[in-house]
Amino acid sequence: MGLDVRWQATMDAAIENPKSSVYDELIQSELITYRSRLATTPGFPNLDWRLFKAVVLIESGGPACAAWTSRAMQFGNPSDPAYNVLRSATQGSALIMDSQLKNDIATKSISIPTLNIRAGIAYILTMAAQFGSAQMIDDPTIRQHTVQKKESLFSISRSVHTTIQDIATNNPTLGRTLRPGQVIAYQLAHMTMVITGWTPITPDFPAAYYNGNSNGQGDPNYADKIRYVYGKLPP
C-alpha cells in the first residue's frame, strides 16, 4: 500500500480528534432509515456506517479542515455532476431519497455539512442500486381498441395509456403486423422504475462510483485510503 505518510498522519490526527465523532449519529441514523425503507428490495447490501464515516473523513480531510463544516463529503462542488442527479431526481435517485431529503436538496444550501453528508450517502446508494423498469397496472379492467390506419403498437400504447408489454400479454396471438379494424385488448398501465438489485458497498465501490477514478484521473489510492481509515475506526 503506497499511501503518503503525511496523508496517513493527517488521517490519524483526524480520527483522534474528538470532533471526528460529531457526524457519527447522523450517518448511523441515515443508514437505519435506508435499511427500514429499502431492506425488502432484492439483495439489499450490508451498510457499514464506518465505511461512510471513512469517506467523510477522507473527503473533508477531517475536523481540522474547512470542508468539515461545509461540504463534508465534497458533494455539490460547482462542477460536480452528482449534485444534478439528486436535484433532478434522475438515474433512480427518486427511489432512494425520501421526501425530506428531496425537499432539503431543493431548498437548502448543499454547503450545510449535515445535508452534504446525507446527499453523499444518497448518491452512493443511488449508484449501488440496480434499477429496472416494471409494469404497473393502473386499472385491471380489460378494454378494447380498434386499430386505425398507420397505427403501430407504440403509438397505440401511447394513445390509450397502456404499455406494449400489456398489449402483448392481453393479445398473445398478435403478430408483428397490425391490420386496420383489428381489435386489441388492453388495460390501463404504465412503466415505472423499480430497484431490482444492489451492488455490495465495499471500499472499492466509492472509489469507482464516488471518487470516479474510471480512467486514472481520480485518486488511484482511494480504496486503499478507505481501508486505512476504516481499519483505524473503533467499531
Partner 1 sequence: MKEYVYLILAGMLAGAAAPPSKILEEGHATLLAALTKNHILVPGRRLLFAGYICSVTVASEELPVVELIEQEPEATEPRGISRVVLLTPSLEPIKEIPEFGGVRPLLCKANSLYFSGIVKIDNIAPGGNRVTFMLGGDYAQADEVDPRDFPAAPEH
Among 28, 111, 114, 130, binds partner 1 (CB under 8 A): 130
* 83 is a site residue for partner 1 (CB under 8 A): no
What is 56-110 written as a DSSP string?
HHHHH--TTSGGGGS-TT-TT-TT-HHHHHHHTTTTTHHHHS-HHHHHHHHHS-T
* 116 is a site residue for partner 1 (CB under 8 A): no
Q: How would you class 123 by CB atoms within 10 Å of its CB: exposed for 0-12, middle for 13-18, buried for 19 or more?
A: buried
* 65 is a site residue for partner 1 (CB under 8 A): yes
The C-alpha R_g of the chain, in whole angstroms, comes to 24
- Which run of H or of E encompasses 129? strand 129-146
Q: Could you tell me how many residues of this chain bind partner 1 (CB under 8 A)? A: 36
Residues 97, 98, 101, 105, CA torsion sign: positive
Mark the segment that binds partner 1 (CB under 8 A) among 46-54, 71-79, 145-153, 168-176: 71-79
Binding mask 133-162 for partner 1 (x = CB under 8 A): x-----------------------------
Degrees (nearest 5) of the Cα angle 49, 53, 56? Answer: 145
* Identity of the residue, 126 or 163, whose beta carbon is nearer to partner 1 in the bound complex: 126
CB of 98 to partner 1, least distance (A): 19
Binding mask 88-107 for partner 1 (x = CB under 8 A): --xxx---------------
d(C-alpha 67, C-alpha 219), whole Å: 18
* 44 is a site residue for partner 1 (CB under 8 A): no
Q: Which three cell numbers stand for residue 129?
A: 442500486
Among 107, 175, 215, 235, binds partner 1 (CB under 8 A): 215
Degrees (nearest 5) of the Cα angle 131, 136, 141? Answer: 170
* 57 is a site residue for partner 1 (CB under 8 A): no
* 191 is a site residue for partner 1 (CB under 8 A): no
What are the residues binding partner 1 (CB under 8 A)?
58-61, 65, 67, 74, 77-81, 90-92, 126-127, 130-133, 193, 196-197, 208-209, 211-219, 222
